[in-house]
Amino acid sequence: MNTAVIPTEQAPQKVKSYGRLDRQIILILDFGSQYSELIARRIRETQVYSEVVSYRTTAEQLRELDPKGIILSGGPNSVYDNYAPHCDPEIWNLGIPILGVCYGMQLMVNQLGGEVLKADRGEYGKSSLYIDDPTDLLTNVEDGTTMWMSHGDSVTKMPPGFELLAHTENTPCAAIADHTKKLYGVQFHPEVVHSLGGSALIRNFVYHICECEPTWTTAAFVEEAIREIRAKVGEKRVLLALSGGVDSSTLAFLMYKAIGDRLTCVFIDQGFMRKLEPERLLKLFKEQFHIPVEYVNARDRFLNALNGVTDPEEKRRRIGHEFIHEFEETSRRLGHFDYLAQGTLYPDVIESADTNADPQTGERVAVKIKSHHNVGGLPKDLRFKLVEPLRKLFKDEVRKVGRSIGLPEEIVQRHPFPGPGLAIRIIGEVTAERLNILRDADLIVRQEINQRGLYHDYWQTFAVLLPIKSVGVMGDQRTYAYPIVLRIVQSEDGMTADWARVPYDVLEAISNRIVNEVKGVNRVVYDITSKPPGTIEWE
């Protein structure tokens, strides 16, 4: 199924007038849930555009945006906390269908005259949902289906006009509705994969309640993106940061279709790429894609910039700065450029978000997880204007766009690779020795996975080098060498992930080859941490 997405600016500070294609939109008011962006992604899977905006977006701004529906996300707060985030109460009078999820449901109940209290017993994980009203929101949702719960508060009294739709063993009001006003609330998270009936519920809300049509397609995105690129860039020249991954390659193809020779692709070899990848990238773009690429060898510059640096945020910041400075020098050598094109994605933006605190009330919602070198790592004195057509897309959406505009499967199906490269897969200080060790180990991981036809079974497969040494024995001799951590995960969009249950014989083969073939390594371990609580990358 094609996924429909059109990049737009974030509300609420300035209300954007949507273009001619985006007549249907469902907005998610974000109250700090780790799943807010996942809700948007689930809506997009129905081929209806959705976007996450601040919970501070006013009713008047929402009216101007004219969404077909509104979803209130979950969040970490209790509605009765002093600094609990509240939405504009006038949204209940807009006449727009609203679905409250978890905290969003509790807020709806609280503001409309119901009661929410701390539950005698919280409910976390999988629960069976028993349906009291199988119509409307819960049409075709199987009675007793599994839904994912995560709450310590419960609705103890529904607001006037609301009816009970469903309950669980521990939650009397698991789903409620005011059918007349089209206001709905669910205590569970229908957007997560663990909620088996969640997709049906979301489709009911999108199609039946909000009366949306599945009109958004990848073709519509490409058409709109090209139109917006041309409108923004005009006759100016654009410099593109090419890495060879699916994001920057899709961006290069899209930009080239939009502005042709006014695009200059530059590959900055910062020395943190995987083994043989710079050579492969240049050959591919020159011989197969016929898009010219300017190659810049900056390995020494980047390595020197990280000398003695161990903090991961400082690594990302320095790498981001070096990228921009290198691009500025390259642009002066190649001529004047007004714009810098980047393959920034939605998860990059979300994970780089600073703590959102109101200076007067102390309200806090989103917390920065890590800076991405192309988001939080950019210098304030950046002289380029940015062009980021993929900024609102998830990884799977980028793959669909890339495939639709002719990107070969070799690139489309490539595993995600971080912008800072191996520099954030070496914990602690980055040195030439550690880079060479990690490059050799990482190559073995990829070779073994590829040879067994398992590459497409996993979201990412890679090696991490730890800055510690342990004792080992090789050939009756004592060794004191580094450990390599294997990180292999399965995911749909990178926002959440689970460690992969890789066959033991594959892990054994990888381990044996690494300790026998990579000098400086005597131990291999496997990371069995999901995201959350961990991240996919270690830094």
Q: Could you tell me which of 366, 372, 399, 374 has the C-alpha nearest to residue 249? A: 399
Backbone angles phi, psi at 499, to 5 degrees: -70, 140
Structure tokens at 208: 């039946």
Helix (H, G, I), strand (E, B) or coil at 433: helix
351 given a catalytic annotation? no
Q: Fill in the amino acid letter for 456.
A: H
Range list of β-strands (E), 350-438? 385-387
- Are 488 and 499 spatial neighbours (Cβ–Cβ below 8 Å)? yes
517 given a catalytic annotation? no
Structure tokens at 120: 């005698």
Structure tokens at 229: 């690129």
The vertex-361 CA angle with 358 and 362, nearest 5°, equals: 65
189 given a catalytic annotation? yes
Catalytic member of 87, 102, 173, 212: 102
The residues pairing with 163 across neighbouring beta strands, listed in sequence order, are 177
Dist. CA 104–CA 102, nearest whole Å: 5
Dist. CA 72–CA 21, nearest whole Å: 25
The vertex-33 CA angle with 251 and 427, nearest 5°, equals: 60
The residues pairing with 178 across neighbouring beta strands, listed in sequence order, are 183
Catalytic member of 191, 322, 388, 537: 191
Dist. CA 342–CA 376, nearest whole Å: 13
Catalytic member of 151, 167, 173, 189: 189
Q: Could you tell me which of 28, 29, 21, 27 has the C-alpha nearest to residue 4? A: 21
- Are 395 and 415 spatial neighbours (Cβ–Cβ below 8 Å)? no
β 521-526/498-499 pair status: unpaired
Q: What residues are labeled active site?
A: 102, 189, 191
